[in-house]
């Protein structure tokens, strides 16, 4: 690789940005290195500049440079690097322009412990871009007088993941519901982006034990990601999902929603659906197939919840699927509460007392020779 020599110092704003990385993450790996941001800036300013070997770069912690170098051919290194930069929402193009225009650039910052282990503190994208373009970018080395505590960092990240619970957007449905729940969500640019959102969703859903599903816009993220988790079953994660087939319509499904606490709506759904999603290689078929009664019930609710959550991603709530029922009209005579009437669901017929008719109407039954339910 060709060594890069046109290096410049960081600006004041860049120093502040780069040192925030230490106090956000690296302080758990290298505790006690510094105590203030000013102290760290001074260390960076006085740190020597070195060219790391490719082997050292591959072994360095807190960077994707090893993945770049292991990609092989230069075109593959660039392809992998661009994908990673997009996932991190970093500007790849401007750095490529900096290479082409031979612009000066500040060196990445690396910590080194007493065992010569390396941790990148800042400049991952710069390293990826320059290395993939066959440019050997030097780094500033800050020596740490102890061994890195990688276990402490791992524990901290695990703790953050476990406590990463978002507030669910709620509203009084009798007045209005939040605009974000009416908007169609934007698709995720990558599966990795969706997976990060799914972690938040699952953690939040776990805390709210009364729910079995959650969509990204319910926690304020306008992306097409949703999760469904029936107790004692594996959670389902859908990134950019779409329902491609529906069968066996069912009416009168009692649904609730974490965004509308305490509310119940009877809806129209399907007991068998087929879903495609970017994080699933094959189509996912949901619905009751088990001969075990409890498992079959769980499969049905998993299917219904998936429809509910995908609706959220498309700007719909359970109120948009509400089963509307018009009052029964009979001009010939008034029906007494204890009078028996004949009802049908299209296949079977039965006679029941009129006072007991309402739950049957919600399930799709109707009075013989009269249509009673409008959907």
Task: Give residues with Cβ within 8 angstroms of 207, minimum separation 6.
Answer: 165
Q: Determine whether 309 is an active site residue.
A: yes
| Active-site residue identified among 299, 309, 322, 331 | 309
DSSP assignments along 282-303, one per residue: S-EEES---SSHHHHHHHHHHH
Q: Determine how β-strand 49-50 pairs with β-strand 139-143.
A: antiparallel
Closest CA to 297 of 223, 232, 209: 232
Q: Give just the sign of the alpha carbon dihedral 268, 270, 274, 278.
A: positive
Query: 213 has which bridge partners?
Result: 228
Distances (CA, A) of 13 to 10, 18, 23, 119, 140: 8, 9, 16, 22, 18
Return the structure tokens found at 237.
Answer: 């994660």
Closest CA to 138 of 53, 14, 205: 53
DSSP assignments along 205-251, one per residue: HHHSTT-SEEEGGGGT--BSEEEE--TTS--EEEES-EEEEEEEEEE
Neighbours of 264 (CB within 10 A): 11
Q: What are phi and psi of 268, to 5 degrees?
A: -105, 125
Distances (CA, A) of 344 to 39, 200, 351, 355, 370: 80, 46, 9, 16, 10
Query: 282 has which bridge partners?
Result: none
> What residues act catalytically?
309
């Amino acid at each position: 690789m060709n060594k890069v020599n046109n290096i410049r110092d960081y600006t004041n704003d860049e120093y502040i940005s780069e040192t925030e990385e230490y106090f956000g993450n690296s302080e758990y790996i290298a505790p006690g290195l510094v105590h203030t941001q000013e102290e760290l800036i001074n260390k960076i300013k006085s740190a020597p500049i070195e060219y790391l070997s490719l082997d050292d770069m591959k072994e360095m912690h807190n960077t994707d440079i090893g993945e770049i170098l292991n990609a092989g051919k230069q075109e593959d290194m660039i392809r992998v690097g661009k994908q990673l930069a997009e996932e991190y929402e970093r500007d790849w193009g401007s750095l490529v322009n900096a290479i082409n225009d031979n612009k000066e650039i500040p060196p990445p910052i690396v910590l080194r412990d007493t065992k010569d282990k390396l941790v990148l503190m800042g400049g991952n994208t710069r390293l990826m871009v320059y290395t993939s373009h066959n440019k050997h970018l030097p780094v500033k080395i800050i020596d740490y007088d102890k061994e890195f505590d990688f276990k402490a960092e791992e524990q901290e990240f695990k703790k953050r993941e476990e406590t990463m619970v978002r507030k669910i957007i709620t509203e009084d449905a009798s007045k209005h519901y939040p605009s974000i729940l009416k908007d169609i969500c934007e698709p995720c640019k990558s599966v990795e982006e969706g997976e990060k959102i799914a972690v938040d969703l699952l953690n939040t859903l776990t805390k709210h034990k009364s729910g079995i599903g959650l969509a990204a816009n319910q926690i304020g993220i306008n992306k097409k990601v949703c999760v469904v988790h029936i107790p004692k079953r594996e959670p389902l994660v859908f990134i950019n999902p779409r329902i491609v087939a529906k069968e066996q319509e069912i009416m009168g499904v009692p649904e609730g929603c974490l965004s509308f606490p305490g509310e119940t709506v009877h809806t129209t759904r399907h007991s068998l659906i087929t879903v495609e999603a970017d994080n699933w290689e094959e189509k996912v078929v949901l619905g009751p197939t088990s001969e075990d009664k409890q498992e079959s019930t769980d499969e049905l609710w998993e299917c219904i919840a998936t429809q509910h959550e995908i609706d959220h991603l498309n700007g719909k709530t359970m109120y948009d699927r509400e089963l509307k029922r018009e009052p029964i009209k009979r001009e010939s005579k008034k029906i007494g509460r204890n009078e028996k009437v004949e009802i049908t669901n299209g296949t079977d017929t039965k006679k029941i007392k009129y006072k007991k008719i309402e739950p049957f109407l919600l399930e799709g039954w109707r009075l013989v020779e009269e249509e009673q339910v409008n959907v």
